Structure 1
Amino acid sequence: MLVLGRTAVAVASLLALAGTAAGWTMLDRFQDSVTSSEVLREIPDAPSADDAATDILLVGNDSRTDAQGNPLPLSVLKELRTESTNGLNTDTLILVRVPHNGSAPTAVSVPRDTLVQVPDSRPEKANAVYGLAKRTAADGLRADGITDSSRVERESALAGQRTLVRSVQQLTGVRIDHYAEVNLLGFYEVTEAIGGVDVCLNQATSDKDSGADFAAGEQTIAGGDALSFVRQRHGLPRGDLDRIVRQQVFMAALANKVLSTGTLTDPAKLEGLMAAARKSVVLDQEWDIVGFAQQMQGLASGGVHFVTLPVADVGARDDRGQSIVTVDPNEARRFVDGLASGPPGQRPAGIAPAGAMRLDGTAHRQTPTEDSPTPPEPGTAATDTPVVPDPPPRISSTGIPCVN
């Protein structure tokens, strides 16, 4: 299950609060009540922290528990359209690079089926790393005679988080400075709290697996419909890559709604956002949210660019016959390293973007300068590793990006 948008938007919601006098008070309250994790403490083999950017890993999971590990009631699971309790996937992985030089941040989506090397283990799909490590840790704790279910849940979740961080660091070559995790319940409640998000589809679509059932054209969606919109991948021309385009467009629209005057001046909506975040967000223990909001103020509105990690093959199979997305590790690291100078198109040419989108949903075009070489054509890169570009969405007459 994929629920992209809930993570970055949870952070964007916090940044938005910094624009109001009441916001600072609410940020303080949030800092005191949010669930924290020691996920980044003493990570072995971590890359150097001196990499010219602050790097934030945003994780969306399909956990059937709240941020404190309490199981969600069946009535809530029905509203979320996901009553299954098998496994735990983190189908949303976004690395946000905030350059130290003051350039705009870039949010890099990692496709869910990307094959990554798991430290001290075998390669796995990116979305399975957390859940597999958590299950292994839980089995080990129970084998050691630990029967306290709360302790097993807490310690196994930490093991899953840390394994995921190590895997992403190995894939990208950058050190994760901050970690934010949000579950299904958070996304559902955030979209409900702000009165829904406007989206546009190029054609009618339905999918029983995600619950998607949408007409063509513009519409406002929230709650379960919003989850279905960002989860659907079956029936889309490019499968998961088209789903990522949907997610990025939806994230931009949701962030803009959160940052709008109507939301920021509505105490009930602000309280709803904060309540959703308290129940569904996990942050690394060292993250000073108030300080981060001060640092980022002014960058949240229109400043974040969305791209997809360059991939080599979207139709490969691993040795177990699973469908996987392959990535050239050197190309991935080169691409991510270049983002420390700013988003594609705002830095010297030479790194092919896999697709870029501004926070307002418009496509970004890289423009060569007199001092820069001509940028590679979409779908190519200096290493000749194929890059699958995200096609810019069609913009409707009312300014809403229309997607598949």
Structure 2
Amino acid sequence: MIGSTLVMVLTGTAWGLYRDFTAGIITTDVISGGNNDGAQNILLVGVDSRTDAQGNPLPDEVQRMLSSGPDIGVLNSDTIILLHVPDGGGAAVAFSIPRDSYVNIPGYRRDKINAAYPATKALAADRLVRDGVRDRRQVETESAQEGRSTLIRTVEQLAGQQIDHYAEINLLGFYNLTTAIGGVDVCLREPVHEVLSGADFPAGPQTISGAAALAFVRQRHGLPDGDLSRIRRQQVFLGAVADKVLSAGTLTSPTTLNALVEVAQESLVIDSGWDLLSFAQQAADLAAGNLEFVTIPTTGQESNARGDVVLVDPRDVSAFVEQRIAQQEAAAEAARNAPPPPSQPPPTVDVIAARYVVDVRNGSDLPGLAGKVASRMRELGFAGGTVDNTEPTPTSVVRYTNPDSDAAHAVAEQLGDIDVEHDDTVTRGHLHVVLGADFDAAVLPAGTTATPPPPPSEPAPTDPITAAGVPCID
């Protein structure tokens, strides 16, 4: 669900069209000394809450639709990410913090980090009631503020960084956001059927939204590394959501913009001192995919009185965060001072192949042609997409969306210099090949057959996850 939080933060450029937008956003007074200038550290929190941003319980039918399980009276900080955006914009880095990280929670005890918010919120609520506060909304607002403040202090203590801003979103917001943008592309190495989260997916590339998207990022059972695998899913999904909203033309649709604003007003909580429109200008470069996701270092796992926990050393974590930020700043400074690059020829097919998924449709009268072309694309290193027939088509074409023109031309060249056509309906990172009656099968190397696609491969664990491309994961 944290993907929607980040998108809500980063799509502030669209919100400039709505001068009354911020009047409908719930704010919380949890930041002291935050900056609107310079580098920004933003704590992004997804909460497994059965209430909306105003504290109203979600309708029973919505809870059932979300497969959120029974309301046991516990609010969980389901996802925690520290986003660092450098001074002047440029490449940002998002540090995922495992929810089971075993840490010292200021004013409470040593526990899992996802207990910092709900546990101290519950204690504050009990105290307020004992002190004679009877207004339910006042108890909810003040106790939630204390819980959020404790989580912020806990993250600051762990990461060694001051938090400048805070953003939080709930289950309903995540559901509605992924529905509003028409779903998000993901890819799984193996099929999944896991009843606790409701995750039920085939292997390979697919588009998910709503309850299915929620199940995708919430699954933690049946994964090879438990919560760490879950974090990797969230990072890939978050990058895909940000990429789609920020760079695939989504923000040009008035209907989608209105839906995004409604989601934010219903489900988003931000700190009261945050000027989102100013921040959006600073973060504009993230639309180009300049966003990397990493997970803080851990030192193993153990079981204790708090359950199964992930061990972390604050010294290692703070050093890791500081090092990555320093590397980022150095790279940004070098980029600012570098001379303009000389003009370069378009990248070759072997350079760009790993970044793209090729979907093939056969509109010719040659049976099996789409499978043969798809096989050739996989030989060249492209990820296999959908393979199907389409209505009879006279002219072959490769369709793409911005900024995938070079990739489309490289594929077209491999297929006998067929036509290339821009199409906003194509998902970024995908190329749609339509084979027409004019396609010359002789351009395919001898021996090319329509073999089944190999299982998708996962990037090496050290490979960065960014807001570009659709890597296949567990």
TM-score strictly above 0.5: yes
Q: Which amino acid aligns with 1:336?
A: V
Deviation at 1:14, TM superposition (A): 2.5
8 A contact 1:257–1:263 mirrored in 2: yes
Match of 2:400 in 1: none
Residue 23 of structure 2 corresponds to residue 40 of structure 1: no
Residue 23 of structure 2 corresponds to residue 25 of structure 1: no
Return the alpha-carbon distance in structure 2 between the equivalents of residues 169 and 30 of structure 1. Answer: 30
Residue 138 of structure 2 corresponds to residue 151 of structure 1: yes
Match of 2:67 in 1: 81
Aligned CA RMSD, in angstroms, stands at 2.6
8 A contact 2:36–2:279 mirrored in 1: no
Deviation at 1:328, TM superposition (A): 1.3
* TM-score, normalised by the number of residues in structure 2: 0.69
Match of 1:91 in 2: 78
Return the alpha-carbon distance in structure 2 between the equivalents of residues 344 and 392 of structure 1. Answer: 20
Match of 1:376 in 2: none
Match of 1:169 in 2: 156
Deviation track 1:186-245 (CA, whole Å, cap 9, x = no partner) reads: 110000001111111100111111110111111111000000000111111111111111
Deviation track 1:264-285 (CA, whole Å, cap 9, x = no partner) reads: 2111011111110110111101
Return the alpha-carbon distance in structure 1 between the equivalents of residues 283 and 297 of structure 2. Answer: 27
Residue 471 of structure 2 corresponds to residue 401 of structure 1: yes
Return the alpha-carbon distance in structure 2 between the equivalents of residues 67 and 334 of structure 1. Answer: 35
CA 1:125–1:236: 2 relative to 1, 3 Å: same
Deviation track 1:148-182 (CA, whole Å, cap 9, x = no partner) reads: 11111111111100111111111111110000011
Superposition pairs of residues 213-362 of structure 1, within 5 angstroms: 213-313=200-300, 315-318=301-304, 320=305, 322-343=307-328, 346=331
8 A contact 1:131–1:160 mirrored in 2: yes
Greater shift, 131-140 or 82-91, is seen at 82-91
CA 1:112–1:34: 2 relative to 1, 3 Å: same
Superposition pairs of residues 107-186 of structure 1, within 5 angstroms: 107-186=94-173
SS in structure 1 opposite 2:20?
Answer: helix
Return the alpha-carbon distance in structure 2 between the equivalents of residues 193 and 101 of structure 1. Answer: 30
The alignment-based identity, stated in percent, is: 47
Q: Which amino acid aligns with 2:321?
A: V
Deviation track 1:302-333 (CA, whole Å, cap 9, x = no partner) reads: 111110011111x2123x05111111111111
Instruction: Find the structure with the greater CA-based Rg.
Output: 2
Residue 84 of structure 2 corresponds to residue 100 of structure 1: no
Return the alpha-carbon distance in structure 2 between the equivalents of residues 51 and 168 of structure 1. Answer: 21
Return the alpha-carbon distance in structure 2 between the equivalents of residues 191 and 101 of structure 1. Answer: 29
Q: Which amino acid aligns with 2:146?
A: A
8 A contact 1:341–1:347 mirrored in 2: no
SS in structure 2 opposite 1:298?
Answer: helix
* TM-score, normalised by the number of residues in structure 1: 0.80
Gaps of 5+ in 2: 334-353, 356-459
SS in structure 2 opposite 1:402?
Answer: coil
SS in structure 2 opposite 1:61?
Answer: strand
Return the alpha-carbon distance in structure 2 between the equivalents of residues 295 and 240 of structure 1. Answer: 32
SS in structure 2 opposite 1:401?
Answer: coil
CA 1:50–1:336: 2 relative to 1, 3 Å: farther
Task: Figure out how many residues of one structure are paired with residues of the other and give that number.
Answer: 348
CA 1:146–1:218: 2 relative to 1, 3 Å: same
Return the alpha-carbon distance in structure 2 between the equivalents of residues 186 and 108 of structure 1. Answer: 22
Q: Which amino acid aligns with 2:67?
A: R
Greater shift, 196-205 or 6-15, is seen at 6-15
Return the alpha-carbon distance in structure 2 between the equivalents of residues 169 and 49 of structure 1. Answer: 15
Greater shift, 157-166 or 102-111, is seen at 102-111
Q: Which amino acid aligns with 2:54?
A: Q
SS in structure 1 opposite 2:472?
Answer: strand
Gaps of 5+ in 1: 18-22, 43-47, 349-360, 363-388
Residue 45 of structure 2 corresponds to residue 59 of structure 1: yes
